């Protein structure tokens, strides 16, 4: 209801411009019991059902920072809704309102979990399934230098290359999908991975299809050979590293800015002046706390 209080709700603006795409990104959505209730990523994950699936065996559910509901179920889904509405407008000539709820967005994002429940992928308790750290071949393992390797050798031909790289004899191991042996196999894999450094394991598994890769820090990710060859990360004029825009379009690739991110409110005044607002109107908006100002201090 914030935009309505400013007299800028969708009904008002769509009357003035029927072609407008008006996106509303919220946690709980525009209607429902929690619509006006405060929340954060972990709350939206909880209400969607997804949080109940995240976590290791015998541990509490955990939220993977705030990526899932805020950015994936929220920002990305909202952007997809805007793109869909823009495409529909090319046919109808009309705009519409996009109601992007993070609860619904992350629930829809997890459709695979819902639709695969009868496939045997999620019929065991949390932390004991194929993709939630239950399987020894889909897990992270600590190396002798305190770093980690990520293992995702699900398919049998990938799993065989994992076993070979670890120096183990497949004939002396239980079947890959012997669930009762998974805890024992995880301990065995962990003891083997702990015998070499991350770099040593990379020299063994690089150029194989064992689906084994290093768990990289931000600094290491930016300097890794593969990512450098793909120009996956960029530096701005403050030497700050960030990911290059993705996905890459062949004909109209994104051109990233190499300037630092602006502060909230840094350019508010100049933009409003550019759009015809008077100094007095801008001062009034600021005093009413509709807008913010934030001028960076000179580093002298």
Task: CATH number of the domain at 200, please.
Answer: 3.30.1540.10
- Looking at residue 121, its pLDDT comes to 81
- 286 noted as active-site residue: no
Same domain, 99 and 41: yes
pLDDT of residue 190: 98
- Residue 243 in any domain: the answer is no
Domain that holds residue 100: 2-119
In contact, 30 and 104? CB cutoff 8 Å? no
Q: Is residue 43 part of a domain?
A: yes
- Catalytic-labelled residue, pool 40, 145, 206, 226: 40
The answer to whether residue 292 sits within a structural domain is yes
Per DSSP, what are the bridge partners of residue 243? 233
Residues 22 and 107 in one domain: yes
Contact by Cβ (8 Å): 181, 174: yes
| Same domain (yes/no): 35, 73 | yes
The pLDDT score that the predictor gives to residue 46 is 98
Q: Are residues 6 and 78 in the same domain?
A: yes
Same domain, 57 and 91: yes
The DSSP result for 63-74, as a single string, is --TTIIIIIIII
Q: Is residue 100 part of a domain?
A: yes
Q: What is the pLDDT of residue 298?
A: 53
Boundary residue ending a domain (194, 215, 236): 215
- Residue 25 shares a structural domain with residue 83: yes
Residue tagged active-site, from 41, 58, 70, 157: 70
40 is catalytic: yes
| pLDDT score of 197 | 98
Say what the pLDDT of residue 261 is: 87
Regarding whether 97 and 7 lie in a shared domain, the answer is yes
Look up the CATH number of the domain holding residue 98: 3.40.50.10540
Q: How far apart are CA 285 and CA 236, in angstroms?
A: 33
Mean pLDDT (10-residue bins), the chain, 300 residues: 86 96 96 95 97 95 95 97 98 97 98 89 90 96 98 98 98 96 98 98 97 97 96 93 94 92 91 95 91 71
Q: How many domains does the chain have?
A: 3
Residue 128 within a domain = no
Strands 148-152 and 138-142: antiparallel
């Amino acid at each position: 209801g914030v935009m309505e209080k400013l007299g800028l709700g969708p009904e008002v603006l769509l009357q003035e411009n029927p072609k407008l795409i008006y996106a509303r990104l919220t946690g709980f959505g525009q209607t429902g019991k929690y619509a006006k209730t405060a929340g954060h990523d972990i709350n939206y994950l909880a209400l969607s059902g997804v949080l109940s699936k995240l976590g290791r065996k015998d541990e509490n559910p955990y939220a993977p920072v705030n990526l899932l509901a805020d950015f994936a179920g929220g920002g990305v889904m909202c952007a997809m809704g805007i793109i869909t509405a823009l495409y529909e407008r090319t046919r109808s000539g009309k705009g519409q309102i996009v109601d992007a709820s993070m609860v619904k967005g992350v629930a829809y994002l997890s459709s695979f979990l819902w639709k695969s429940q009868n496939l045997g992928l999620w019929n065991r308790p949390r932390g004991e399934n194929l993709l939630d750290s239950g399987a020894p071949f889909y897990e992270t393992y600590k190396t002798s230098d305190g770093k980690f390797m990520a293992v995702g050798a699900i398919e049998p031909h990938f799993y065989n290359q994992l076993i070979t790289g670890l120096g183990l004899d497949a004939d002396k191991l239980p079947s890959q999908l012997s669930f009762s042996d998974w805890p024992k196999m995880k301990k065995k894999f962990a003891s083997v991975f702990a015998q070499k450094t991350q770099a040593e394991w990379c020299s063994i598994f690089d150029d194989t299809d064992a689906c084994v890769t290093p768990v990289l820090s931000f600094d290491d990710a930016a300097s890794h050979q593969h990512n450098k060859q793909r120009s996956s990360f960029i530096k701005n004029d403050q030497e700050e590293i960030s990911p290059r825009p993705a996905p890459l379009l062949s004909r109209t690739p994104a051109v990233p800015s190499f300037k630092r991110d602006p502060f909230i409110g840094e350019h508010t005044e100049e933009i409003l002046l550019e759009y015809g607002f008077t100094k007095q109107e801008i001062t009034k908006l600021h005093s009413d706390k509709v807008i913010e100002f934030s001028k960076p201090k000179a580093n002298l």
